[in-house]
Copies of this chain bind each other. A is one copy, B any other.
Amino acid sequence: MDGIHLLGEWYGCAAEMPEMTNAEALRTLCLRAAAASGMTIVGDRFHQFAPTGVTGTVLLAESHLAIHTWPEHGFVTIDVYVCNYTTDNSPKAEHLFRSMQHALRPERAEFQAIHRGGRDA
Which positions in A face B, CB cutoff 8 Å? 1, 3, 5, 7, 9, 11, 42-47, 49, 55-57, 59-61, 63-64, 66, 68, 70, 73-75, 77, 79, 81, 83, 85, 110, 112, 114, 116-118, 120-121
Contacts and interface: CB of A to CB of B under 8 A. Distances in A.
Contact of A77 (B61, B70, B83): B83
B117 A110 contact: yes
Contacts of A81: 66, 77, 79
Given A77-B83, A121-B73, A7 B9 contact: no
A116 B57 contact: no
Given A43-B45, A55-B42, A79 B77 contact: no
